[in-house]
C-alpha cells in the first residue's frame, strides 16, 4: 500500500505548491510524475520513456483538437460571432436561465463528443454569455462542464460506457436508457452547484476585449453557429455509422462519415467554416486571427500533456492491479464498481481508462454479486461511470481544459470544478443504488 500513500502525499504537495507557492502546474505535474515513477519501481529509462510517451499520446489525441478549437474560438470572439450566438440563446431561454441553458447544451453535445472537445468548442460561447449577462465565468464554466461530464460517463456512444457495456456483456439499449435516467439529475446537480458558487462567492466576469467588436455589425447567427454545430453533427454521424446495425452500410458512405466525423477532421472543417466570419474590411488578416488562436492554445496544450504524462506514469506503476487486488474480494454489490472506478479515476486521471479497467476487474464478479441479469449488468456499467467521474483533479486533462479555458487558477478550480465532480459522482451512485433496489 506504500505506493498509494506516496500518491496521496504527492497529490497533496502538488495542491500546496500550486495554491500557496504559485508553482506552475506544468512543472509540478512533470515533477510529480518523475517522483511517482521512481516510487513505483520504474528505472530511469522507464521513467523517461513513459513520461514522454504519456505526454505525446495525450497530445496526439487532443492537442490538435485544442488548437483547432482555439482557432474557432478566436474567430468567434474577434468577429462577434460568439456574441451573436449568445444573443440568440438568450432570446430562446431568457437571461435568467442562461446557466441552465449552457448545462443542457453540454449535456447534449457530450453524447457523441468527448467532454474535452465539447468544452473547447463551447468555451467562446461561455465567455460571450458571461460578458452579456454579467454572470461570473466560473459559474458558466462549471455548469457547462457538469453537463458535458454527465453524458460522457453514462451515455453511449461515448467510448467509456460503450467499452464497459461490451466488457460486461450489457444490453446497449438498456445502458443508454438507464444512463439517461441517471445522467439528467447528475447534470442538474452540477448546475445547482454552479449556481451556488455564484451566490456564495461571485467571481470574475469575462472581460476579454476581443469578445465582440465595438462598432461593427455582428455576423449572421447561422454563420456563427456553423463552426460549432457542423463539427458536432459530423462527429455524431461517425458515432451512428459505427453502430452494430451499420445504418450507413459498410461501403463508401460509411468510410466518408468515419473520416469527416473524426474529431480532428470535423474541427478542421469547423476552422474553414469560421473563416467566413471575418469581414473583408477587417484590417487584421486570417494569419493574425489563426496566430491568436494558436497562442491561446499553447499553454493549454502543454498543461494537458503534462497531466497525461502523470497519468501514464501512474498506470505504468501498476496501481490499477494493486487497487483491484485490494478490493475485488469485497462483497458490496454495486458500490464496489463505483469504489474501484473512483479510486482509479482519482489516482490516474482518465475517466475512460478508469471505466475500462474497472469493467475488466468486476466482470468475473457479476454472478456472485447477483448482478448477472440484464438490468444488473446495465447498472454495473453506470456504477462504474459514477465512480469514473469522482473526482476530476490535477491529473485529469478535462480538469485543466476547464480551468484554463475558464481562466481559473488551480486553487479555484479545485474548489469549484473538482467539488462539482465529487457531488456529481456521489449523486450518480446514489441513483444507481436506488435503481438497483427497485429493479434487481
Give the tens place of pLDDT for each residue, 235-249.
Answer: 878 877 877 777 887
pLDDT of 109 reads 81
The CA distances from residue 365 to 253, 336, 362, in Å, are: 41, 10, 5
Residue-wise DSSP of 366-393: HHHHT--SHHHHHHHHHHHHHHTTS---
CA distance 148 to 103: 8
Q: Which three cell numbers stand for residue 247?
A: 445504418
CA 132, chain centre distance (Å): 25
What are 346-365's pLDDT values in tens digits?
A: 887 888 888 888 887 888 77
Taking the C-alpha atoms of residue 116 and residue 100, their distance in angstroms, rounded to an integer, is 20
pLDDT digits (tens, 9 = 90+) for 296-314: 788 878 887 887 788 788 7
* DSSP-derived 3-state class of residue 4: helix
Following DSSP, what letter does each residue of 201-252 receive, concatenated? H--PPP--TTSS-SSSPPPPHHHHHHHHHHHHHHHHHHHHHTSTT-TT-SSH
Instruction: Give pLDDT, residue 304.
Output: 76
Best-predicted range by mean pLDDT among 69-78, 285-294, 329-338, 414-423? 414-423
Tell how many helices (H) and how many strands (E) occur in the chain. Answer: 21, 0
Supply 243's cell numbers. 453502430
Q: Tens of pLDDT along 128-187?
A: 888 888 899 999 999 999 999 999 999 887 778 888 888 888 888 788 889 999 999 999
Predicted local confidence at residue 61, as pLDDT: 66
Amino acid at each position: 500500500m506504500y505506493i498509494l500513500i506516496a500518491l496521496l502525499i504527492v497529490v497533496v504537495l502538488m495542491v500546496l505548491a500550486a495554491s500557496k507557492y504559485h508553482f506552475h502546474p506544468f512543472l509540478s505535474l512533470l515533477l510529480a510524475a518523475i517522483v511517482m515513477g521512481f516510487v513505483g519501481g520504474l528505472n530511469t529509462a522507464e521513467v523517461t520513456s513513459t513520461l514522454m510517451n504519456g505526454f505525446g499520446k495525450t497530445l496526439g489525441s487532443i492537442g490538435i483538437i485544442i488548437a483547432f478549437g482555439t482557432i474557432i474560438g478566436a474567430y468567434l470572439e474577434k468577429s462577434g460571432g460568439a456574441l451573436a450566438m449568445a444573443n440568440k440563446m438568450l432570446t430562446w431561454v431568457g437571461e435568467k436561465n442562461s446557466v441552465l441553458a449552457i448545462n443542457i447544451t453540454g449535456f447534449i453535445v457530450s453524447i457523441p463528443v468527448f467532454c474535452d472537445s465539447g468544452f473547447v468548442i463551447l468555451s467562446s460561447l461561455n465567455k460571450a454569455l458571461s460578458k452579456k449577462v454579467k454572470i461570473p465565468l466560473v459559474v458558466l464554466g462549471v455548469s457547462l462542464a457538469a453537463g458535458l461530464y454527465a453524458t460522457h460517463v453514462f451515455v453511449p456512444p461515448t467510448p467509456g460506457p460503450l467499452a464497459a457495456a461490451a466488457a460486461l456483456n450489457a444490453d446497449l439499449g438498456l445502458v443508454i436508457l438507464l444512463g439517461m435516467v441517471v445522467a439528467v439529475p447528475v447534470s442538474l446537480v452540477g448546475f445547482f452547484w454552479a449556481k451556488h458558487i455564484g451566490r456564495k462567492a461571485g467571481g470574475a466576469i469575462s472581460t476579454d476585449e476581443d469578445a465582440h467588436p465595438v462598432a461593427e455589425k455582428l455576423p449572421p447567427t447561422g454563420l456563427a453557429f456553423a463552426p460549432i454545430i457542423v463539427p458536432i453533427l459530423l462527429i455524431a454521424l461517425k458515432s451512428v455509422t459505427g453502430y452494430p446495425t451499420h445504418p450507413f452500410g459498410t461501403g463508401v458512405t460509411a468510410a466518408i462519415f468515419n473520416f469527416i466525423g473524426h474529431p480532428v477532421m470535423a474541427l478542421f472543417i469547423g476552422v474553414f467554416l469560421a473563416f467566413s466570419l471575418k469581414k473583408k474590411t477587417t484590417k487584421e488578416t486570417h494569419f493574425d486571427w489563426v496566430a491568436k488562436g494558436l497562442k491561446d492554445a499553447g499553454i493549454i496544450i502543454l498543461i494537458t500533456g503534462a497531466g497525461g504524462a502523470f497519468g501514464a506514469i501512474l498506470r505504468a506503476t501498476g496501481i490499477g492491479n494493486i487497487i483491484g487486488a485490494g478490493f475485488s474480494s469485497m462483497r458490496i454489490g454495486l458500490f464496489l464498481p463505483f469504489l474501484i472506478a473512483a479510486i482509479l479515476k482519482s489516482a490516474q486521471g482518465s475517466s475512460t481508462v478508469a471505466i475500462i479497467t474497472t469493467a475488466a476487474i468486476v466482470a468475473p464478479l457479476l454472478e456472485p454479486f447477483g448482478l448477472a441479469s440484464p438490468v444488473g449488468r446495465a447498472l454495473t456499467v453506470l456504477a462504474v461511470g459514477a465512480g469514473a467521474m469522482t473526482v476530476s483533479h490535477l491529473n485529469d486533462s478535462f480538469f485543466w481544459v476547464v480551468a484554463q479555458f475558464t481562466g481559473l487558477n488551480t486553487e479555484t478550480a479545485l474548489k469549484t470544478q473538482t467539488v462539482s465532480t465529487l457531488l456529481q459522482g456521489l449523486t450518480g451512485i446514489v441513483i444507481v443504488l436506488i435503481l438497483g433496489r427497485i429493479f434487481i
